[in-house]
Amino acid sequence: MSADAARAAEMLSQLSAPQRLAAFAELVRRGAEGATIAELAYTLDVPVQKSGELLARLVGAGLATGTGNGVYRANAGVLREAAAAVDKMQPLSPLLASYPQLKGYFAHGRLTSLPPTLSERSEQTGELIVRFLALDGLCDEDELNRRLARVTDDVAGVRRMLVDTGWLERDRAGTTYGPGRKLESDRAGTTYGAGRKPESDRAGTTYGAGRKLES
């Protein structure tokens, strides 16, 4: 586990305790005004000693600032920072930076919804996922599913989209997949699809750009 992930995990662990969560929420509510140990004890209806323990744990986790009998304030910004740091660890995040128009379909580095079928953004989403998969040969469905599960919960839907847009080819048995359309680079070095449309066999099964996999 990375340092960023460990830090985020520690914060979540601290806030998983109901009383610490209530203490943090009260500090957030009070904003810059903050609260002393005694004030928080009165609001939460807990002993002063318990209030001090709650605040000490929040300060130790970086979720609050304050010392001794002074004023304690929430440090909610660290949650945003931790979330952003964890987002950057997602495998799609570096690639997604080149596709700002697709960010609405992603949450925390994971694909959460698909663009309309046959739309330009559907093509771009397929291209992005294929760049992540980086297949250099044939791949069985189980392995493909494992790779897709790293970036989406809708594994079956994304797999179908990749086939329908021609980015992946599928054999007649529907169990083996391979690269379909090639990725090209423009003069600026950005990678785009080759623009070749998928073809369909007589049975109506969709494959990649004109080349069908042997079953």
Q: What pLDDT is recorded for position 87?
A: 82
Considering the chain, tell me which residue range(s) the CATH 1.10.10.10 domain(s) occupy: 3-80
Q: What pLDDT is recorded for position 1?
A: 61
Domain 3-80 has CATH 1.10.10.10: yes
Give the CATH number of domain 90-193; options: 1.10.10, 2.20.28, 3.30.160, 1.20.120.
1.10.10
**What is the reported pTM?**
0.61
Mean pLDDT by 10 residues, the chain (215 residues): 79 93 97 96 97 96 94 93 84 89 91 90 93 90 94 94 92 89 54 39 38 42
Report DSSP state, residue 35: B
DSSP character string of 149-178: HTTBS-HHHHHHHHHHTTSEEE-TTS-EEE
Quick one: which H or E segment has residue 87?
helix 77-89
Q: What pLDDT is recorded for position 141?
A: 94
